[in-house]
Structure 1
Amino acid sequence: MFAHVVALYRALGTPAIEDGVISYDGQQTPEIVDALRMCDNLPAAYGKFEHRSVEGDALEIEFRLPSNESGRFYTNLSEFVARSGSLGKGQFPSNVYIIELRWADCDDAEPPTIKALRRVCRLIELLSLLAIGVDKDSSPDGYNLFFALPPDGAKPPRTFLLPTQVDVRVLDYELRHLSLLEEILNRKNENKAHLSERKLMIRMAVASVIEKFESEPNLFVVIVREWKEVLATYRANLQTYVYSFSFERVRREVAQAEIDYGTKLSGVLGDIAGKMLALPISFAGLVVLNNTTSPFEGFILVLGLTVVSVVLFAILHNQTLQTERLLHSFNVVFDDFKDKIKTYPPKLQGLLEITIGQVERQGRTLTKTFCLLKVLSLLPVAGALLLALIKYWEGFLWVLVTTISIVFSAPNVDPIFLSP
């Protein structure tokens, strides 16, 4: 319906409006005839003809334009912003015509200033969803939005009031990246990780800007003007949070891995600590072997020391393999950290380097320790053989000679003796 009124106004040549009435005295045109026909049965709320006469092709019209929710005409954008209270609540009015812009909301195309004003309305809607509290009733022309800053050191927590008072000056600034706020406040994203933290960060960014310019009379104009700073503060806080969160997680993982692998490597040596007590006992067996007078007893002692040495050597070799497996597992886990070490803060880089170095040093120490213990585990059997060889040299020599004689005299044995 309002579109018909706009069409008539344009067909009449956009005459001046005096006390809400437009007048026309001139020739009829096809456009005027068509517009009059569409307005013949308009409801009174959309305007009415106060005078209308036709004499031949001459036409006189006085038409009272609507001035209610069904339609309003504004001289310019400033008047439109000043008289449209719904803008302060994020609601763009309908059935409006702005003479300066030659634009009605029923037109297909919108001037850049109208698009900018719609973005301001959208910002008010989003801020009302973001605020920690909203007073919708105190003012007919806007909301009172509440934002807060947490305590910071000696500074106590503070609460700020943001009246959404729209001024034509908001059109002097560009509002960009409202999609970021829309994404944060979209209910479809409620289950995304850290969404509540992101809401808190952008609330704090808005509150910090308000605190910075608290003395200015129109804080909403300040928010529009400083919107880039709001986004920059939010992104900086988000980056700090994400880095702190991920680095804190990495730090915990590194510390836990250091404890786990350190404990396991220490356990490798602890597992055989009791078994290694057999090593000094084995050395005591050399004293018994030295004091024995029976070759048979000596043979039993040598055999026993040999078994002990072989068992200890096998245990130590198994623990060496276990240490290698643990170190390989450690390297597999920490390869990912090593690849990303340059992306971490200096403190975390230092922690990683210390952890990797300590575990590698512990592994090398264990390896050297097991090598030394392997050598020591062979000393009892080596000492027993050497002592037995010295003590029973004549017996060893007799056995050796007898063995050699049997080997070399074997072809001279009578075949009949060997046959069944």
Structure 2
Amino acid sequence: MMNSTQLKTLVDLYRVAGKPAISGVYLHLQLSFSNDLDTLIKELLASPQLLKYIIDDEFTVDGDPLQGNCLPPNWKTIDLTLKLPRDSIHRFHNSIEELINFSSIRNGDFPTDFYIIDLDYYSGDAITPPSVQKIENICKLIKALSKLAHYHDRKSTDGEPRLVFIQGSEGRSKSAILQPTITKEMLNYSDIDCTVVEQLKDDISVDDVNHHVEKRGIFRNTLVEYVNENNFDFQKLIEYWTEFRLAYDNNLSVYLSGFNFHKARKDVAAAELEFAEKTSKTISDLTTKILAIPVSLLAALGAWKMQDLTEQLVILIGVIFTSVIINLIISSQEKQLNRIIHAKDMVFSPFILKLKNYPNELQNDITKAIDELKKNEKFSKNILISFYVLCWIPTLVGIVIILCKNLFMKE
């Protein structure tokens, strides 16, 4: 195989000579001096690999045979005949149709060094013709599909590789077999976007680790379904590649939607459980403190047995102090409950905004979760209000007892 520098030298000579006709594998050049030509001829003579393409006794300088492969310092005309390389794909091709007939192209191996005569295109040129770009994209697609295929079938009589894709479903399996090929007709198809397949070709994706395995499976299943339902071969698949991509995108969207809905359902359930527990905890944390209310009430009732007003007032002050402490504790729990409610609203706000985008089942789950949490909040607030009232009952009882004993029961 030649490297690109050798072939490029031959291409440059051919172009500078005015792209004369090529007779089979022979290229006859009649050259007049120019600085560019002088440089190219010296490159030709200096390379042992390129010298083998010069036909012996058909290299003359100013009418005289070249001596010792040494170019005279001052020359005017050169006649030489080259035998162009024809033993590999790295060569002169008459047309792009000739290029695509190579088996390596059908295997997805796009050449890096070649020249197409009728397009005047060398693979190192800055601008690539659309037809060549299409072939390169199809080669990339073939390579990527080869890595995605479950296995390659080379047992056929023609020896051409076939890509086998398998779809497993409910204990049964279906397969699709594609034999890569590139034809002249494919050059008229829409350009191929092989980005998705190239992203999926490797077992592990560095750029997109999320659902990579699932995406590979969805792509394979979609390919099997699409090829079998339409009875397509590889050429037809390329012709309708845009429609196939749309089918894959739709299947992927269905999967991702289902995954997102499942994740949303789990998030809603976890949030509902978390906030229900926190709301309940605001009440349960008060239970031991509320037990002080009956004790305080007994103390208030004890004032009935006290005859001295000072003793009664001491008891009343103790009861009032207890009521104030319990009231502050209840107030603290009420603030905690309000913070929990605020946090709950923040967590559920995104779900509410996207509620219409979710399926009915998930909509019902979210609505029910929010309603149940609101009922729980209302119940907790009512209990706190009740505790507010209860904590001041011993104080009211103590005041009533002292008033009765010292105002209404005096003789």
TM-score (norm 2): 0.71
Judged with a 3 Å threshold, the aligned counterparts in structure 2 of structure 1 residues 273 and 240 are, in CA distance, closer, same or farther, namely same
Percent sequence identity is 21
- Whether the 8 Å contact between 2:137 and 2:192 is mirrored in structure 1 is no
For the pair 1:175 / 2:191, whether they are aligned, the reply is: yes
Instruction: Indicate the SS of the match to 2:172.
Output: coil
Give the deviation of 1:89 after TM superposition: 1.4
Instruction: Indicate the SS of the match to 1:161.
Output: strand
Q: What are the equivalent positions in structure 2 for 1:261-272 lying under 5 Å apart? A: 261-272=275-286
For the pair 1:341 / 2:352, whether they are aligned, the reply is: yes
1:325 to 331, 336, 342: 336
Unmatched tracts of structure 1, length 5 or more? 398-420
Judged with a 3 Å threshold, the aligned counterparts in structure 2 of structure 1 residues 70 and 383 are, in CA distance, closer, same or farther, namely closer
Instruction: Indicate the SS of the match to 2:387.
Output: helix
- Whether the 8 Å contact between 2:300 and 2:319 is mirrored in structure 1 is no
Q: Which amino acid aligns with 2:224?
A: A
Judged with a 3 Å threshold, the aligned counterparts in structure 2 of structure 1 residues 313 and 200 are, in CA distance, closer, same or farther, namely farther
Give the deviation of 1:87 after TM superposition: 0.4
How many residue pairs get matched?
A: 384
Q: How far apart, CA to CA, are the structure 1 residues paired with 2:59 and 2:371?
A: 101
2:32 to 26, 30, 44: 30
Give the deviation of 1:262 after TM superposition: 1.5
Q: How far apart, CA to CA, are the structure 2 residues paired with 1:277 and 1:39?
A: 106
Instruction: Indicate the SS of the match to 2:100.
Output: helix
Q: How far apart, CA to CA, are the structure 1 residues paired with 2:51 and 2:154?
A: 29
Q: What are the equivalent positions in structure 2 for 1:304-383 lying under 5 Å apart? A: 307=318, 311=322, 314-315=325-326, 317-339=328-350, 341-344=352-355, 345-346=357-358, 347=360, 348-383=362-397
Judged with a 3 Å threshold, the aligned counterparts in structure 2 of structure 1 residues 119 and 310 are, in CA distance, closer, same or farther, namely same
Q: Which amino acid aligns with 2:88?
A: E
1:409 — aligned with what?
A: none
For the pair 1:195 / 2:212, whether they are aligned, the reply is: yes
Give the deviation of 1:164 after TM superposition: 1.7
Q: Which amino acid aligns with 1:87?
A: I
- Whether the 8 Å contact between 1:86 and 1:141 is mirrored in structure 2 is no
For the pair 1:254 / 2:268, whether they are aligned, the reply is: yes
- Whether the 8 Å contact between 2:323 and 2:395 is mirrored in structure 1 is no
Q: What are the equivalent positions in structure 2 for 1:158-307 lying under 5 Å apart? A: 158-185=174-201, 189=206, 192-213=209-230, 215-216=231-232, 218-219=233-234, 221-273=235-287, 295-296=306-307, 307=318
Judged with a 3 Å threshold, the aligned counterparts in structure 2 of structure 1 residues 137 and 118 are, in CA distance, closer, same or farther, namely farther
- Whether the 8 Å contact between 2:312 and 2:402 is mirrored in structure 1 is no
Structure 1 window deviating more from structure 2 (387-396 vs 192-201): it is 387-396
In terms of Rg, which structure is larger? 1
Q: How far apart, CA to CA, are the structure 2 residues paired with 1:236 and 1:302?
A: 80
- Whether the 8 Å contact between 2:152 and 2:164 is mirrored in structure 1 is yes
Q: What is the CA deviation profile of residues 237-286 of structure 1, one whole-angstrom value per residue up to 9, with x for unaligned ones?
A: 44444444444334323322221221232233334456656767877889
Structure 1 window deviating more from structure 2 (49-58 vs 8-17): it is 49-58
Q: How far apart, CA to CA, are the structure 2 residues paired with 1:304 and 1:140?
A: 108
Q: What is the CA deviation profile of residues 3-34 of structure 1, one whole-angstrom value per residue up to 9, with x for unaligned ones?
A: 4555666638543645x55679xxx5427997
For the pair 1:89 / 2:107, whether they are aligned, the reply is: yes
Structure 1 window deviating more from structure 2 (277-286 vs 99-108): it is 277-286
2:149 — aligned with what?
A: 131
- Alpha-carbon RMSD across the aligned residues, in angstroms, is 4.7
Q: Which amino acid aligns with 1:80?
A: L
Q: How far apart, CA to CA, are the structure 1 residues paired with 2:401 and 2:151?
A: 94
Q: How far apart, CA to CA, are the structure 2 residues paired with 1:229 and 1:257?
A: 41
Q: Which amino acid aligns with 1:296?
A: Q
- Whether the 8 Å contact between 2:95 and 2:119 is mirrored in structure 1 is yes
Give the deviation of 1:119 after TM superposition: 1.4
